[in-house]
Chain A
């Protein structure tokens, strides 16, 4: 199980990296490599050039900015997991990080790499969609920002152009309540279903909410019917149960050897219920 041939380059600047991507349509960014390397080993991916971002400056910071935490693309899952700033301002990321594979993967895998990979089973895509994060992209022509709603467009597909690089992600810190739920058979397995939920709550009433589902679906998806139900409701057990029913009815799950769509449909309902119960508790 050995990768096919490719070329490798480790540029020292973003401009240089963009140059490599721009000059070869089959060039691909290498960040932590934890998702890419198995695909290379199994020869399911065959890029011509890997552009390693490890020496590109400016991609390694976790910063507190207005109403958001901005996380550099090269920040590892482990760094997110252990960041005091993240735990304080956007705790859903700390919760989700612990579900990402294993410590040996989290030490190498990066926030930006997983986000750009847009794996429907990925913790970051699910969470970033729920919180309504903004992806900061750099292309040869300049920077652009893409909201999560417009970023994750399909399984393993984002709205990034081939010659663009994800540089940072801004995670809004404005939500009052956060919950992340994952059902995985064993620690570190790909989840059978992931649910991320965030809400703003005033006077025991949900004023705004976003809920997303991953793994059980073809690509990470917002559960808009659930969100509509939540807004204006009290974050209580009754709401949670109603939300679970709506989620069960509205989600469009996949089937595979690890679980049928019926199983996943019910599982999503259960996780939505757990998530809303947790929102009630103010996690």
Chain B
């Protein structure tokens, strides 16, 4: 049976292990879905054209710009945002390292850096400085000058802090 193109459709996206179902306009970005429909505002929009990296989330464990993905495209996929990182009510190792190294100032770009670094450390728990720079250069920060972000990721790697907890999906949390 052939589907019909829709201007509005219902999507179901697992975010941080919870399933969010909502009717959306086809044009709605995943970033707007995360922020407006799932009310998870830790993911920031800095440019909406895929350059600044503030909206980076993990889609099926790979870092991706949520402003460059439609909510419709993410239907049925797993998304992780900055809100997934804390361990209970404690910062995880990566977050702690950012704090200890002063790897953030205004904090607006920080979620993007954390999610990109999370993906890096999950894939490569012992990155070199070059690996970090190569991977994380796709995120912009206007406050720090970046060196303390590199130091934070190095510290997190040295402490083996990769958040390898990939949340299992819980059914039943319907938006």
Contact = CB atoms under 8 A, between A and B. Distances in A.
Query: Are chains A and B touching directly in their complex (CB below 8 angstroms)?
Result: yes
A52 B5 CA distance: 10
B22 interface: no
B3 A11 contact: yes
A105 B26 contact: no
A52 B62 contact: no
Interface string A1-35: 11111111111100010011000100100100110
Given A8-B26, A41-B49, A103 B5 contact: no
B116 interface: yes
Contacts of B65: 34, 104-105, 108
Contact of A4 (B5, B27, B133, B138): B27
A103 B72 contact: no
A143 interface: no
B69 A11 contact: no
A2 B27 contact: yes
Interface string B71-93: 01101000000000000000000
Contacts of B42: none
Given A4-B27, A8-B5, A103-B135, A37 B69 contact: yes
A38 B52 CA distance: 12
B7 A41 contact: no
A188 interface: yes
Contacts of B116: 103-104
Contact of A33 (B26, B73, B119): B73
Contacts of B6: 7-9
B63 A33 contact: no
B9 interface: yes
A1 B48 CA distance: 7
Contacts of B138: 101-105, 187-188
Nearest to B75: A10
Contacts of A2: 27, 32, 48
A97 interface: no
A50 interface: yes
A37 B31 CA distance: 12
B72 A8 contact: yes
Contact of A3 (B3, B27, B133): B27
A103 B58 CA distance: 12
Interface in A173-206: 186-188
20 contacts: A3-B27, A3-B29, A5-B26, A7-B5, A7-B6, A8-B26, A8-B27, A9-B6, A10-B72, A27-B5, A34-B65, A37-B67, A37-B68, A38-B49, A40-B27, A104-B56, A104-B138, A104-B139, A186-B137, A188-B137
Given A2-B48, A104-B65, 8 more contacts: A5-B27, A8-B70, A30-B70, A103-B63, A103-B119, A103-B134, A104-B56, A108-B62
Closest 9 CB pairs of A and B: A102-B138, A8-B26, A7-B5, A107-B62, A38-B49, A9-B5, A187-B137, A37-B68, A1-B48
